[in-house]
Amino acid sequence: MSDTLTADVIGQRVEVNGEHATVRFAGVVPPVAGPWLGVEWDNPERGKHDGSHEGTVYFQCRHPTGGSFIRPNKVNFGTDFLTAIKNRYVLEDGPEEDRKEQIVTIGNKPVETIGFDSIMKQQSQLSKLQEVSLRNCAVSCAGEKGGVAEGCPNIRKVDLSKNLLSSWDEVIHIADQLRHLEVLNVSENKLKFPSGSVLTGTLSALKVLVLNQTGITWAEVLRCAMGCPGLEELYLESNNIFISERPTDVLQTVKLLDLSSNQLIDENQLYLIAHLPRLEQLILSDIGISSLHFPDAGIGCKTSLFPSLKYLVVNDNQISQWSFFNELDKLPSLRALSCLRNPLTKEDKEAETARLLIIASIGQLKTLNKCEILPEERRRAELDYRKAFGNEWKQAGGHKDPDKNRLSEEFLTAHPRYQFLCLSTCVYTGGLQVVHFQLEQSFFLEYGAPEEWELKTQQPLMLKNQLLTLKIKYPHQLDQKVLEKQLPGSMTIQKVKGLLSRLLKVPVSDLLLSYESPQKPGVEIELENDLKSLQFYSVENGDCLLVRW
């Protein structure tokens, strides 16, 4: 572009030696003669001042070192779209010798290139180009009207990231001419978006729109989306977006929404996008979220929010409560989840346990962290979950018999799926339903309520924990006192007899031992094999040894 300074140069995006900036001022800066451009750099430390010089404020900058004054001829205003395409893809008509000099060497070996001539010829046929990448090619405008439509009408995908486009209108000028355009990427351009609902064109074929790092606001997103009626994928990474309103007529066809790295988003704002009917994939990585609530659904019920959401990504967030996953269970269509690098799932040792707990908490999940959940894994996870919280369940009022089962509200909130995992067949076939659930599987889970023996916690391996406290009775000698002794379970019957023989002054061979358990009164079990241990006969703590001679 020429260096004539007209008023419309203000706001344009320019490039100087690889650094991008926006023109904020054009005119004279005394005392130095000649025209100057005042620019605000994208990089806040690149400049020398904040727009003022020797006391006079010429333009405003956001940072004290964000601005500079530059001579217009040093600044690159960029080129138009078609020229940029030609620069990149078209074979330059230079003499033969020039091309020979371009042989590159590595070390002292030449690099042999195959078929580059043919490729260059092919790419020169611009009308055949379907996928075009003009990243960092200093594109600033569409060029003459209709030029793009004539030159390369078949473009389906265009990458215009990191260029010098200054406004959304300019983008529309280009995109409008490409009737088959399906994918448009204008990331890393500082665009000015229309303030009113002024539509300069409709991109009817557009399916994918990428607006990462453009500084766009939510209201502007909605306005731009009005021109894209068939939009399926929308990428808005790193824009400091604050979702301010609910999209009513726009974004209704969107299937994928990427809101990564927008730190201002919190869970309340998510309700505003919860009614998008086709939204299947939602990427919320790195937004600082720690909880989610679906207040319209009670414990064990499905929410009406996010009706089609199948895949949720919440990597790199602040999730530290298990209740997060209980809430996710309320989503009716959720089948896949990625939640890596959160405080709850960070510890490597506990990664396995964390995975099992997440699987058990969300009943319909099929894929977790991109690993398919096989039926055996799900079964293992659910059994583990049932066992792990069994004691809590009991303390909270849980009971095998459904009539006696009265769980506290607290327990139900913390473990909404627990009752489901405990439903036993007899209850179900009887038609009684403890809690109403939608069952997806054709077979039915019936693990039953956890049994006593499952809930026994492992005692630490100290000797005193391995000793059995036993009473010793002498049925034939009623005057003898009942002794209480602590014996290890691994002790053989022979050794027990030896001990008793020393105690009672009776020879070993005369002794006959048996035991009875308070749990089974009246049943006496003979300990006839001297070489077996007490454990072999399942003698337990609190049992009573009966000695006869």
Residue nearer to another protein on the CB measure, 12 or 285: 285
Binding mask 196-215 for another protein (x = CB under 8 A): --------------x-x---
Stretch that binds another protein, among 108-116, 195-203, 431-439, 532-540 (CB under 8 A): 108-116
Furthest-apart CA atoms within the chain: distance in Å: 126
Span between the terminal Cα atoms of the chain, in Å: 117
By CB under 8 A, is residue 240 in contact with another protein?
no
Residue nearer to another protein on the CB measure, 65 or 315: 315
Query: What is the C-alpha to C-alpha distance for residues 541 and 543, in angstroms, rounded to an integer?
Result: 6
The β-bridge partners of 41 are 21
Question: For residue 216, which of 199, 204, 234, 202 has the smallest C-alpha distance?
Answer: 234
Residue nearer to another protein on the CB measure, 25 or 235: 235
Stretch that binds another protein, among 4-12, 114-122, 164-172, 479-487 (CB under 8 A): 114-122
By CB under 8 A, is residue 517 in contact with another protein?
no
Tokens at residue 423, please?
């439903």
Binding mask 351-370 for another protein (x = CB under 8 A): x---x------------xxx
Binding mask 261-300 for another protein (x = CB under 8 A): ----------------------x-x---------------
| CB 172 within 8 Å of CB 145 | no
Nearest-approach distance from CB 39 to another protein, in angstroms: 24
Query: What is the C-alpha to C-alpha distance for residues 518 and 315, in angstroms, rounded to an integer?
Result: 55
Residue nearer to another protein on the CB measure, 131 or 484: 131
Question: How is residue 38 annotated by DSSP?
Answer: E
Tokens at residue 383, please?
């059994």
Nearest-approach distance from CB 314 to another protein, in angstroms: 10
Nearest-approach distance from CB 234 to another protein, in angstroms: 11
By CB under 8 A, is residue 462 in contact with another protein?
no
SS3 category, 427: helix
Nearest-approach distance from CB 143 to another protein, in angstroms: 19
Peptide bond into 247 cis (omega under 30): no
CB atoms within 10 A of CB 191: 19
Residue nearer to another protein on the CB measure, 157 or 386: 157
The only residue of 5, 70, 297, 340 in contact with another protein, by rule CB under 8 A = 340
Give me the phi and psi of 35, to 5 degrees please. -80, 145
Residue nearer to another protein on the CB measure, 360 or 368: 368
Nearest-approach distance from CB 516 to another protein, in angstroms: 51
| CB 150 within 8 Å of CB 178 | no
Question: For residue 312, which of 291, 330, 286, 285 has the smallest C-alpha distance?
Answer: 285
The only residue of 313, 356, 496, 539 in contact with another protein, by rule CB under 8 A = 313
The only residue of 65, 217, 338, 408 in contact with another protein, by rule CB under 8 A = 338
Question: For residue 231, which of 212, 193, 203, 259 has the smallest C-alpha distance?
Answer: 203
CB atoms within 10 A of CB 347: 10
CA distances from 314 to 149, 353, 548 (A): 41, 19, 70
The only residue of 6, 30, 95, 111 in contact with another protein, by rule CB under 8 A = 111
| Footprint on residues 31-90 left by another protein (CB under 8 A) | 88-89
Residue nearer to another protein on the CB measure, 110 or 298: 110
Give me the phi and psi of 203, to 5 degrees please. -100, 85
**Amino acid letter, residue 112:** E
Nearest-approach distance from CB 427 to another protein, in angstroms: 36
* 211 HSE (CA, 13 A, CB side): 27
The only residue of 7, 33, 104, 523 in contact with another protein, by rule CB under 8 A = 104
Peptide bond into 31 cis (omega under 30): yes
| CB 24 within 8 Å of CB 59 | yes
Stretch that binds another protein, among 123-131, 192-200, 447-455, 494-502 (CB under 8 A): 123-131
By CB under 8 A, is residue 105 in contact with another protein?
yes
| CB 120 within 8 Å of CB 93 | no
By CB under 8 A, is residue 146 in contact with another protein?
no
By CB under 8 A, is residue 346 in contact with another protein?
no
By CB under 8 A, is residue 162 in contact with another protein?
yes
# residues near another protein by CB under 8 A: 57
CA distances from 42 to 21, 76, 138, 160, 214 (A): 5, 15, 15, 18, 12
The only residue of 154, 318, 320, 333 in contact with another protein, by rule CB under 8 A = 154
| Footprint on residues 174-193 left by another protein (CB under 8 A) | 180, 185, 187
The only residue of 133, 252, 291, 405 in contact with another protein, by rule CB under 8 A = 133
Tokens at residue 544, please?
């009573």
CA distances from 111 to 104, 106, 117, 437 (A): 6, 7, 15, 67
| CB 468 within 8 Å of CB 539 | yes
Stretch that binds another protein, among 122-130, 293-301, 405-413, 518-526 (CB under 8 A): 122-130
H or E stretch including 53? strand 52-53
Nearest-approach distance from CB 258 to another protein, in angstroms: 8
Stretch that binds another protein, among 13-21, 31-39, 110-118, 418-426 (CB under 8 A): 110-118
By CB under 8 A, is residue 371 in contact with another protein?
yes
By CB under 8 A, is residue 128 in contact with another protein?
yes
Strands 52-53 and 13-16 come out as unpaired
Give me the residues that bind another protein (CB under 8 A), please: 88-89, 102, 104-107, 109-120, 122-123, 127-128, 130-133, 135-136, 153-154, 157, 159, 161-162, 180, 185, 187, 210, 212, 235, 237, 258, 260, 283, 285, 313, 315, 338, 340, 351, 355, 368-372
